[in-house]
Amino acid sequence: MRQFFKLFTFYFMCMASAAASLWVPVAWAKDNTLLVMGDSLSAGYGMSLEQAWPTLLQGKLHESSSKETWQVINASVSGETTQGGVRRLPALLEKFEPRWVLLELGANDGLRGYPIVNITANLSAMIEQIQASGAKVAVLGIQLPPNYGARYTSPFFAQYATLAKKYNTALVPFLLENVAGNSELMQADGLHPTLSAQPIIIANIWQHLGEFWLP
């Protein structure tokens, strides 16, 4: 019952969030731009955007790449769904012309019990849009809380690996690996990572994607 209340509260908090969190540097090198398309897990829920993992990723890229300068555009919005992502993505691709797009969406759809077939269709549409633009895609996998039941959570989680294989994209199997379920690394709602979890998220991403960005 307590977990249900947390999810119920989270739903309305997201729906009440009217302002989109879009962190954009003053200038960027379009040839080396990385766009993060996500929800509150990437938008710095409970912290500033500068403390969230996309900003730390830019620092990691700068440290690891001696030949290239990268800019990370965090276009993540708390409460975002895959349907909202489909609507917003074309304008973002046109404006920023990213070289890479990290696609982290679906959690809010899942928390609301949307049909998985619809979530997969929206994620597929975004992957196709990104690839058509000439950018590379990395799919960031998400798991739902177990109280939703394995009949829903298992195929929900499996869709990310299936999509990555179908479209030959890069994949981070589970964004919150070594974070989810740890009370010291999750906020009181049990759904969002804490500030101290952000470096672990970067380690998860870099483990699977670092080789793509090294010079």
| Pairing between β-strand 71-74 and β-strand 100-104 as defined by DSSP bridges | unpaired
Residues 17, 62, 64, 189: which is the catalytic one? 189
Q: SS3 of 14, please?
A: helix
> Annotated catalytic, 65?
no
Dist. CA 101–CA 111, nearest whole Å: 24
Give the count of alpha carbons within 13 A of 123, CB side only: 34
100: burial class by Cβ within 10 Å (0-12, 13-18, 19+)? buried
Dist. CA 182–CA 89, nearest whole Å: 33
> Annotated catalytic, 133?
no
Residues 21, 39, 40, 109: which is the catalytic one? 40
Tracing tokens 């679906």 back to the chain, one arrives at 106
**Are the beta carbons of 67 and 208 closer than 8 angstroms?**
no
Dist. CA 173–CA 156, nearest whole Å: 12
> Annotated catalytic, 40?
yes
214: tokens are 């090294």
3: burial class by Cβ within 10 Å (0-12, 13-18, 19+)? middle
Catalytic residues: 40, 189, 192
